[in-house]
């Protein structure tokens, strides 16, 4: 009796298998990878056969246009340090991608699992333009002059309300990932509060080595919202700065500084967001630009 071709194929496969406990187990092909998947029974390793090994390309796009931006790519696979090129990551790896560009704030893109075949990773970039900060004396209905000129009059035991306006630029951002606002003031003021749009009401959560511009001044640093002006709409944000003087007549300058936060790479090879590169034991700003408005109080 003749055996058909299918039967002989089965016999050959069984012969080349590696028998464990009476069952034939076959070695995976050279391109086969595995990924860890969470199931009801826990984490299991699932084979992934790649007919085409992973091929990845990377780019960052301006959120307000169709333009791709330049800069230096940083790609992080699993827990390895970031590299500037990684065309063929391994199937099953995790990926993070960020582009360093001094004129843009760029998000970190996350790829939970590298897949077989060709893929493009694109992240969002926010073009920088400084905001315009103004201060208005609400009690006298007059705008104060940056650096002095039209000043805020506030005698001993006086109370004043100043409207702080932050005007953005359409299609640009000055702090799309948030950051902090510092208010520096003469120590003869006993109470200084700033509340309103764009503020969380919390103290600044980032490391910021702030140096006062006038000896003897005090200051406080407040957190801005995480998406302060990420929409690029240029809409004005308004906050109320309330100042209360003690028994000594307050005299000096008040400084309001908007300092953005940005992404950076720590010494451990991970991506962080902050004002300073504190994970590198470095006081260098992650984004050098800041806007300051100052006015005289007397």
Span 236-285, pLDDT tens digits: 999 999 999 999 999 999 999 999 999 999 999 999 999 999 999 999 99
Domain 132-297 indexed as CATH 2.60.40: yes
DSSP string over 138-162: TTTTEEPPTTSSS-B---TT-EEEE
More confident residue, 106 or 11: 106
Q: Where are the alpha helices (DSSP H) in the chain?
A: 5-16
Span 122-175, pLDDT tens digits: 999 999 999 999 999 999 999 999 999 999 999 999 999 999 999 999 999 999
Span 202-223, pLDDT tens digits: 999 999 999 999 998 999 999 9
User: From the CB of residue 266, how many other CB atoms can be counted at a distance below 10 Å?
Assistant: 15
Query: Per-residue pLDDT averaged across 21-41, rounded?
Result: 43
SS3 state of residue 16: helix
CATH 2.60.40 residue ranges for the chain: 55-127, 132-297
For domain 55-127, the CATH class is: mainly beta
pTM for this predicted structure: 0.81
Q: What is the pLDDT of residue 110?
A: 98
């Amino acid at each position: 009796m003749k055996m058909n071709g299918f039967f002989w194929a089965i016999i050959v496969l069984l012969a080349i298998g590696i028998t464990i406990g009476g069952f034939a187990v076959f070695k995976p092909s050279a391109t086969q990878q595995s990924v860890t998947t969470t199931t009801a029974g826990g984490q299991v390793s699932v084979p992934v056969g790649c007919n085409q090994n992973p091929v990845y390309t990377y780019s960052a796009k301006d959120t307000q246009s169709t333009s791709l931006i330049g800069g230096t790519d940083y790609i992080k696979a699993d827990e390895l340090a970031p590299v500037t090129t990684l065309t063929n990551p391994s199937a099953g790896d995790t990926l993070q991608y960020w582009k360093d560009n001094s004129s843009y704030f760029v998000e970190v893109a996350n790829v939970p699992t590298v897949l077989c075949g060709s893929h493009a990773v694109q992240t969002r970039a926010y073009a920088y333009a400084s905001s315009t900060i103004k201060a208005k004396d609400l009690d006298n209905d007059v705008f104060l002059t940056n650096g002095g000129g039209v000043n805020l009059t506030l005698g001993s035991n006086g109370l004043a309300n100043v409207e702080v306006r932050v005007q953005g630029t359409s299609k640009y951002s000055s702090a799309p990932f948030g950051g902090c606002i510092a208010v520096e003031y003469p120590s003869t003021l006993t109470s200084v509060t700033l509340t309103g749009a764009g503020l969380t009401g919390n103290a600044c959560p980032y490391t910021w080595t702030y140096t006062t511009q006038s000896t003897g001044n005090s200051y406080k640093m407040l957190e801005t919202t995480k998406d302060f002006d990420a929409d690029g709409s240029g809409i004005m944000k308004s906050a109320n700065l309330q100042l209360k003087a003690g028994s000594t007549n307050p005299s000096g300058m008040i400084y309001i500084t908007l300092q953005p936060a940005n992404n950076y790479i720590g010494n451990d090879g991970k991506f962080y967001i902050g004002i300073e590169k504190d994970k590198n034991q470095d006081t260098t700003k992650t984004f050098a630009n800041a806007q300051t408005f100052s006015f005289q109080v007397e």
